[in-house]
A and B are shown apart, each in its own frame.
Chain A
Amino acid sequence: MHSTASEHADTAVAAGTDADRIPLSATADNGLKIVIVGGFGVGKTTMVRSVSEIRPLNTEETMTRAGLGVDDPTGVEGKTTTTVAFDFGRISINDSAVLYLFGAPGQERFWFLWDRLFSGTLGAVVLVDTRRLDDSWYAIDRLEAHGMPFIVAHNDFGGERHTLEQIREALDLSPDVPLISCDARDRESSKAVLIALVDHLYALSVQASSSGRQSVPGQESVSVPETAERAS
């Protein structure tokens, strides 16, 4: 059943045509990022659409492999240009903060641009489809390597049933990483995913400040020793 963006669609309709934008508050001054990453067709755009106050927009970033840090948008011959397309939506938080939600494919060239695009990201959602779990391993690996806090959301496309425990095991997921099920088409369900992520970040942040450290693996609500191993 589709219950996507029912109430909030009003705002978009009121704003007029597709081309019209809902402007941000004039006082907006703090952009925040959350990234939804996953394999092809796993529901990234659908999730962004379900919670965004604007129709999802898309764009791309290009970078030449030849000289790291030297972009050459003129596409001069002899250089390999990496292009990553991604889409995004927006949620206004208050007069100052505005959250941008990015949907991005987790393939290799995306990670090449991660630092350039997504440094400063609050946290990430890895969206997984149990029919194609392999797509998720790489993303989970990279996020861990980047020290980026994340949760895993299982987008249920039907088919064979799996318990969360089975999925956790199949993904070799550390017990301190939250794992939930969702339906990306459903607004409430997608909201719950974002709330689960920010809850997780909040717990990490409180824990880090109380222990005087900046970044701590582990979640407050789960009594896992700090030394909990990430299976490799």
Chain B
Amino acid sequence: MKRLGPDDDPDRLYTVTGGRSRSADDRTLDLVTLIVSECDPTPGMQSEHARILAMCRRPMAVVEVSAELRMPVSVVRILLCDLLDLGQVTARHPRTPDTAQLPAADLLKEVLDALHRL
């Protein structure tokens, strides 16, 4: 299947994003920020919004939404910001430090245990 990307019909991407490039807070949507729907899709809703609400009934990372919609992450961030603004989804942000800091040893221990159990 063809992915919607920068080489595609610009009108299409323009429509999907409502012509906006980014809103203020989409910077804060990490690839692994988990998105959760707060309501069901309603008839007449933009189809991408409806699909996101349907797929995020259980938590789903931004990058998974992007893969599922076959749209670049930057486009998906914009769609998610619309839904966040409307309170239709919530975002669970990663709790790891985003600078060159190391994560807490107890979290790493949990990861290690899980890997050993794999």
Q: Which A residues form the contact surface with B (CB < 8 A)?
A: 8, 21, 23-26, 28-33, 51, 57-63, 70-76, 81, 83, 88, 90-94, 97-100, 102, 117-120, 122, 146-149, 187, 191, 194-195, 198-199, 201-202, 204-206, 208-209, 214-215
Contacts and interface: CB of A to CB of B under 8 A. Distances in A.
Nearest to B12: A74
A30 B111 contact: no
Nearest to A187: B118
Nearest to B92: A29
B104 interface: yes
B61 A31 contact: yes
B112 A195 contact: yes
14 contacts: A23-B57, A31-B31, A59-B72, A70-B21, A73-B17, A76-B10, A97-B111, A100-B31, A100-B61, A191-B118, A194-B115, A198-B115, A205-B108, A209-B105
Contacts of B88: none
A75 B102 CA distance: 37
B113 to A, nearest CB: 8
Most buried by A among B78, B96, B108: B108
Interface in B86-117: 92, 94-105, 107-112, 114-116
Contact of A81 (B6, B67, B99): B6
Nearest to A27: B59
A147 B36 CA distance: 32
Query: Taking chain A's interface residues, is the majority helix, strand, or loop, or is none over half, making it mixed?
Result: mixed
B94 A204 contact: no
A8 B115 CA distance: 13
Contacts of B100: 146-148, 214-215
B14 A97 contact: no
A146 B102 CA distance: 13
B116 A61 contact: no
A165 B66 CA distance: 41
B110 A28 contact: no
Contacts of B10: 74-76
